[in-house]
């Protein structure tokens, strides 16, 4: 039993893994109750082995919204270095397996730490835009992320979140809890490393950005379409559907 728990987050102690799971469960309940969280295609996330999840960044809710329904493993994620300045808040983010990243310019130390955790067999979530969006739209990906993708030598899973910006935009000190918008998440298919890097690091980053943008467009309300549907067919008349039916749950 303990060996199975350890596989969920290589290198962590069993008590920490269990504590993290309780936090994950509580977050899932809150996001479901207040934001009617829907997660599509979560089954593409493998239970073991190194993998990068690359997602757009709408608000502080993103890491939890994207990761709380992934029960087969635990996820590390990047967070801006300023959040670690407070001793108590920094300790909390460390408990959440977060990796501090400099807010300006390339961060060699952060890249090395992400690579180290991937080598341990962990799953790491990154936000290639570099910071939360100010408009709700997906911002251009930072070119420096191409270096990380090249050095990671593991599959990359594009993912998108929508509704988190409306729930907690940058100008608000806290999230909306009443009459809050729905938060939706969709995972794309894993992209094997060799396939992703076939045309070089810059082309790899461009592909990930295209797929994240397409996923984001597919889960926006009223204009939601399946990722496999061509824009030429016109917007769907109902909510987005997941590629696999068993991943469209709206409750834990």
Task: Report d(CA 94, CA 190) in Å as an integer.
Answer: 27
**Tokens representing residue 213 in the block:** 């943008």
Q: CB–CB of 247/45 below 8 Å?
A: no
Task: Answer whether residue 112 shows pLDDT above 80.
Answer: yes
Query: Which tens digit of pLDDT belongs to each residue from 189-211?
Result: 999 999 999 999 999 999 999 99
- Domains in the chain with CATH codes: 2-220 (3.40.1130.10)
Q: What is the pTM of this model?
A: 0.86
Span 169-175, mean pLDDT? 92
Give residues with Cβ within 8 angstroms of 29, minimum separation 6. Answer: 252
Q: Which residue has the higher pLDDT, 113 or 244?
A: 113
pLDDT in the model for residue 233: 37
**Tokens representing residue 6 in the block:** 């350890």
Task: Report d(CA 40, CA 178) in Å as an integer.
Answer: 24
Task: Answer whether residue 126 shows pLDDT above 80.
Answer: yes
Task: Report d(CA 149, CA 153) in Å as an integer.
Answer: 7
Give residues with Cβ within 8 angstroms of 206, minimum separation 6. Answer: none
pLDDT in the model for residue 84: 81
Query: Which tens digit of pLDDT belongs to each residue from 208-233?
Result: 999 999 999 999 987 444 444 434 33
**pLDDT more than 70, % of the chain:** 87
Task: Report d(CA 155, CA 149) in Å as an integer.
Answer: 9
Determine which helix (DSSP H) or strand (DSSP E) holds 9, and give its type and residue range: none
Give residues with Cβ within 8 angstroms of 247, minimum separation 6. Answer: 39, 40, 41, 42, 43
**Tokens representing residue 174 in the block:** 């806290």
Which neighbouring-strand residues pair with 39?
A: 185
In order of 52, 62, 85, 112, 127, the CA distances from 46 in angstroms are 11, 20, 33, 23, 19
Q: What's the pLDDT band for 242 if we cut at 50, 70, 90?
A: very low
Let me know if 250 is exposed, middle or buried by CB neighbors in 10 A (0-12, 13-18, 19+).
Answer: exposed
Task: Answer whether residue 238 shows pLDDT above 60.
Answer: no
């Amino acid at each position: 039993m303990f060996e199975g728990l350890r596989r969920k987050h290589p290198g962590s102690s069993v008590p920490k893994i269990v504590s993290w799971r309780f936090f994950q469960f509580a977050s899932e309940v809150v996001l479901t109750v207040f934001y009617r969280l829907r997660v599509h295609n979560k089954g593409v996330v493998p239970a073991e082995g190194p993998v990068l999840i690359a997602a757009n960044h709408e608000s502080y809710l993103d890491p939890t919204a994207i990761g709380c329904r992934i029960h087969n493993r635990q996820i590390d994620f990047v967070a801006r270095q300023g959040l670690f300045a407070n001793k108590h808040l920094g300790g909390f983010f460390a408990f959440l397996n977060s990796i501090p990243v400099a807010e300006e310019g390339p961060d060699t130390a952060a890249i090395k730490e992400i690579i180290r955790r991937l080598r341990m067999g962990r799953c790491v979530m990154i936000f290639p835009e570099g910071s939360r969006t100010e408009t709700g739209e997906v911002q251009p990906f930072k070119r420096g992320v191409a270096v990380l993708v090249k050095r990671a030598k593991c599959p990359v899973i594009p993912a998108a979140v929508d509704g988190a910006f409306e729930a907690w935009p940058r100008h608000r000190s806290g999230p909306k809890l009443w009459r809050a918008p729905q938060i939706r998440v969709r995972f794309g298919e894993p992209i094997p490393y060799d396939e992703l890097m076939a045309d070089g690091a810059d082309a790899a980053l461009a592909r990930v950005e295209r797929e994240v943008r397409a996923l984001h467009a597919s889960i926006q309300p009223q204009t939601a379409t399946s990722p496999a549907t061509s824009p030429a067919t016109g917007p769907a008349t109902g909510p987005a559907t997941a590629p696999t039916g068993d991943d469209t749950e709206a409750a834990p």
